[in-house]
Amino acid sequence: MAATILADDPIFGRFCFLGTWQPANGTNQVIPLDGVRRRFHAMLNTSTLHMVLDNDRFAANQPLSCTDDQSLLTFQMESEVTTAHTATLHLTVTMPGLYTINNNHGLVTTTNLVAGQEAAISLPMDASATAQPFTITR
Protein backbone atom coordinates (compact mmCIF):
# COMPACT_ATOMS: atom_id res chain seq x y z
CA MET A 1 0.00 0.00 0.00
CA ALA A 2 1.25 3.49 -0.83
CA ALA A 3 2.57 5.82 1.85
CA THR A 4 3.87 9.35 2.15
CA ILE A 5 7.42 9.33 3.51
CA LEU A 6 9.50 12.23 4.78
CA ALA A 7 13.14 11.15 5.00
CA ASP A 8 16.62 12.51 5.54
CA ASP A 9 18.72 11.20 2.66
CA PRO A 10 22.52 11.26 3.11
CA ILE A 11 23.00 12.55 -0.44
CA PHE A 12 19.91 14.64 -1.25
CA GLY A 13 19.00 15.88 2.22
CA ARG A 14 15.41 16.03 3.43
CA PHE A 15 13.02 14.72 0.81
CA CYS A 16 9.34 13.76 0.65
CA PHE A 17 8.18 10.74 -1.33
CA LEU A 18 4.55 10.80 -2.56
CA GLY A 19 3.93 14.20 -1.00
CA THR A 20 5.10 17.77 -0.76
CA TRP A 21 7.24 19.07 2.10
CA GLN A 22 8.21 22.47 3.35
CA PRO A 23 9.60 23.71 6.66
CA ALA A 24 7.45 26.27 8.50
CA ASN A 25 7.80 27.71 12.00
CA GLY A 26 10.00 24.89 13.26
CA THR A 27 7.77 22.13 11.85
CA ASN A 28 7.74 19.95 8.77
CA GLN A 29 4.58 20.59 6.73
CA VAL A 30 3.77 17.54 4.60
CA ILE A 31 0.83 17.20 2.22
CA PRO A 32 0.25 13.53 1.31
CA LEU A 33 -0.22 12.94 -2.41
CA ASP A 34 -0.26 9.14 -2.46
CA GLY A 35 -3.98 8.89 -3.25
CA VAL A 36 -4.91 6.68 -0.29
CA ARG A 37 -3.66 9.09 2.43
CA ARG A 38 -3.67 6.54 5.27
CA ARG A 39 0.06 6.11 5.93
CA PHE A 40 2.67 8.67 6.88
CA HIS A 41 6.24 7.90 7.89
CA ALA A 42 8.90 10.40 8.97
CA MET A 43 12.35 8.83 8.98
CA LEU A 44 14.60 11.66 10.05
CA ASN A 45 18.15 11.74 11.36
CA THR A 46 16.79 12.72 14.78
CA SER A 47 13.73 10.45 15.07
CA THR A 48 11.35 8.07 13.35
CA LEU A 49 7.56 8.30 13.30
CA HIS A 50 4.96 5.97 11.79
CA MET A 51 1.26 6.91 11.52
CA VAL A 52 -1.19 4.44 9.94
CA LEU A 53 -4.97 4.83 9.83
CA ASP A 54 -7.23 1.76 9.70
CA ASN A 55 -10.21 3.68 8.40
CA ASP A 56 -10.75 7.26 7.28
CA ARG A 57 -7.78 9.19 5.88
CA PHE A 58 -5.67 12.28 6.22
CA ALA A 59 -7.57 15.24 4.77
CA ALA A 60 -6.87 16.08 1.13
CA ASN A 61 -4.64 19.08 0.52
CA GLN A 62 -4.17 19.65 4.27
CA PRO A 63 -0.70 19.43 5.80
CA LEU A 64 0.42 17.00 8.46
CA SER A 65 2.83 18.87 10.71
CA CYS A 66 5.56 17.28 12.77
CA THR A 67 8.59 18.54 14.61
CA ASP A 68 11.92 16.75 14.27
CA ASP A 69 11.80 15.76 17.97
CA GLN A 70 8.19 14.42 17.79
CA SER A 71 7.02 16.88 20.45
CA LEU A 72 4.21 18.11 18.16
CA LEU A 73 2.10 16.37 15.50
CA THR A 74 -0.94 17.96 13.89
CA PHE A 75 -3.18 16.64 11.15
CA GLN A 76 -6.74 16.65 9.89
CA MET A 77 -8.80 13.58 9.08
CA GLU A 78 -11.75 13.18 6.76
CA SER A 79 -14.24 10.39 6.23
CA GLU A 80 -16.96 9.27 3.89
CA VAL A 81 -18.88 7.97 6.92
CA THR A 82 -21.49 10.59 7.78
CA THR A 83 -22.27 9.36 11.31
CA ALA A 84 -20.15 9.89 14.40
CA HIS A 85 -17.60 7.10 14.70
CA THR A 86 -14.11 6.21 15.86
CA ALA A 87 -11.03 6.00 13.67
CA THR A 88 -7.98 3.99 14.74
CA LEU A 89 -4.52 5.51 14.45
CA HIS A 90 -1.54 3.17 14.80
CA LEU A 91 1.29 5.34 16.09
CA THR A 92 4.93 4.37 16.57
CA VAL A 93 7.54 6.85 17.81
CA THR A 94 11.21 6.73 18.79
CA MET A 95 10.82 9.43 21.44
CA PRO A 96 9.15 7.78 24.46
CA GLY A 97 6.97 9.67 26.90
CA LEU A 98 3.51 10.83 27.83
CA TYR A 99 1.63 12.06 24.75
CA THR A 100 -1.58 14.10 24.83
CA ILE A 101 -4.11 13.81 22.00
CA ASN A 102 -6.57 16.66 21.42
CA ASN A 103 -9.19 17.43 18.80
CA ASN A 104 -11.33 20.50 18.15
CA HIS A 105 -13.44 19.63 21.26
CA GLY A 106 -10.49 19.33 23.65
CA LEU A 107 -8.72 16.41 25.28
CA VAL A 108 -9.24 13.02 23.64
CA THR A 109 -6.76 10.96 25.68
CA THR A 110 -3.26 10.76 27.07
CA THR A 111 -1.05 7.75 26.53
CA ASN A 112 2.45 6.72 27.50
CA LEU A 113 4.25 5.72 24.31
CA VAL A 114 7.21 3.36 24.37
CA ALA A 115 9.96 3.84 21.80
CA GLY A 116 9.49 1.49 18.85
CA GLN A 117 6.26 -0.01 20.17
CA GLU A 118 3.06 0.55 18.17
CA ALA A 119 0.08 2.05 20.01
CA ALA A 120 -3.49 1.90 18.69
CA ILE A 121 -5.24 5.18 19.47
CA SER A 122 -8.99 5.69 19.04
CA LEU A 123 -9.85 9.06 17.51
CA PRO A 124 -13.48 10.24 17.68
CA MET A 125 -14.85 11.62 14.42
CA ASP A 126 -17.84 13.94 14.41
CA ALA A 127 -20.88 13.27 12.23
CA SER A 128 -20.43 14.78 8.76
CA ALA A 129 -16.91 16.00 9.59
CA THR A 130 -15.28 17.27 6.42
CA ALA A 131 -11.87 17.74 8.06
CA GLN A 132 -11.50 17.12 11.79
CA PRO A 133 -8.27 18.42 13.39
CA PHE A 134 -6.10 16.48 15.83
CA THR A 135 -3.00 17.51 17.77
CA ILE A 136 -0.58 15.17 19.52
CA THR A 137 1.96 16.68 21.93
CA ARG A 138 4.66 15.32 24.17
Could you list the residue range(s) of the whole structural domain that residue 72 is in?
Answer: 4-137
pLDDT of residue 97: 96
Q: Which residue has the higher pLDDT, 49 or 55?
A: 49
Contact between 5 and 41 (Cβ < 8 Å):
yes
What contacts 106, CB < 8 A, 6 or more positions away? Answer: none
Give yes or no for residue 7 having a pLDDT over 90. yes
Give yes or no for residue 128 having a pLDDT over 90. no
Report the number of distinct structural domains present in the chain. 1
Cα(100)–Cα(105) distance, integer angstroms: 14
Cα(47)–Cα(93) distance, integer angstroms: 8
As a whole number, mean pLDDT of residues 31-51 equals 95
Give yes or no for residue 129 having a pLDDT over 80. no
As a whole number, mean pLDDT of residues 86-95 equals 96
Q: What is the CATH number of the domain that holds 69?
A: 2.60.40
Neighbours of 75 (CB within 10 A): 24
Cα(63)–Cα(99) distance, integer angstroms: 20
Condensed to tens digits (0 to 9), the pLDDT of residues 99-121 reads: 999 999 999 999 999 999 999 99
C-alpha 133: how far from chain center: 11
Task: Find, among 95, 81, 94, 93, the residue nearest to 123 by Cα.
Answer: 81
Task: Find, among 130, 120, 9, 28, the residue nearest to 74 by Cα.
Answer: 28
As a whole number, mean pLDDT of residues 117-138 equals 94
pLDDT of residue 35: 87
Condensed to tens digits (0 to 9), the pLDDT of residues 51-76 reads: 999 989 999 999 999 999 999 999 99
